[in-house]
Amino acid sequence: MEVHHHPQLENREKRLKEYVLEGLMIFMAVSMGFIAENIREHLSDQNKKKELLEIVGQAFNKDLDQLKFHEKYAKQKIDAINFIIKYFDSEQKIINKKDYYQYINKITGWWFFNSEEKSRIEAESKGYFYEKENSELVNVILRFNFFKNDYKNTEVHEAKLIEKCNEQIQYITNFNIYNKQNHYPPPIMLNTFGIINLNKSELIKIKYILSNISMDNDIYLNDIDSMKVYAKKAIEIIKKKYP
């Protein structure tokens, strides 16, 4: 009986080549899928990064809008203090009572600066600020935060001074008038002249307190100028890197 071996070897060799080819194709398909998924995830991460940093830029714009208000308020408070001190050194019967109590109200009031920093904190937590490509932006934000923190520390100091100022209010105001005006916004007062006789010994104390409050508002203005510079730089960098 004759046995034919060669055809069996050819079939087996053919099947082996097919298996190898199929395996290679499967490997390539899986590899390409893995690469494509990595590319997709990278693009998705880049888009998320771009979106978040754009929000950071928008937040800086909101800070700039808020700083305009605080800049105006600090200047008004400095002016009010200068007028009040002049009033103290003037003849009391010719002092405009309406202006006097409005200035007192301005000096003892305050508004806190609340930076829109949620998006910056989120970006930092995601590691975006540790990437070399964002080093310039990071340095600008660090400078912004330096002056922001100085501003916040000054707020704490001014709050203590205002508390001391309020302790002296009884010596420089008439309670009935002060009580009527002690609202926000204060009610309209007619122009009348003359204030109570000021306690000279207490007047010296209040002058020092007012001078220190004025100094704090000078610090605010310097910090605001610096924050505005670095906020604008941060916005420019973000727009340039993520148009």
Cα–Cα distance between 243 and 82 in angstroms, integer?
47
Domain limits of the chain? 6-241
CB count in 10 Å sphere of residue 34: 10
Cα–Cα distance between 109 and 162 in angstroms, integer?
8
Q: In degrees, to the nearest 5, what angle opens at C-alpha 135 toward C-alphas 133 and 140?
A: 135
pLDDT (tens digit, 9 = 90+) per residue, 15-61? 666 666 666 666 665 555 555 445 444 444 666 778 888 888 999 99
Q: Which residue has the tokens 């099947």?
A: 15
The rounded mean pLDDT for the chain is: 83
Cα–Cα distance between 78 and 210 in angstroms, integer?
9
Tell me: pLDDT of 148 over 80: yes
Cα–Cα distance between 235 and 60 in angstroms, integer?
7
**In this structure, are residues 197 and 95 in contact, taking their beta carbons and an 8 Å threshold?**
no
Q: In degrees, to the nearest 5, what angle opens at C-alpha 232 toward C-alphas 231 and 234?
A: 65
pLDDT (tens digit, 9 = 90+) per residue, 124-146? 888 777 677 778 888 999 999 99
Cα–Cα distance between 146 and 76 in angstroms, integer?
25
Per-residue pLDDT, 32: 57
pTM of the predicted structure, to 2 decimals: 0.78
The proportion of the chain whose per-residue pLDDT surpasses 90, expressed as a percent, equals: 42
Cα–Cα distance between 177 and 191 in angstroms, integer?
13
Ramachandran quadrant class, 196 (left: phi over 0; alpha: psi -120 to 50; beta: rest): beta
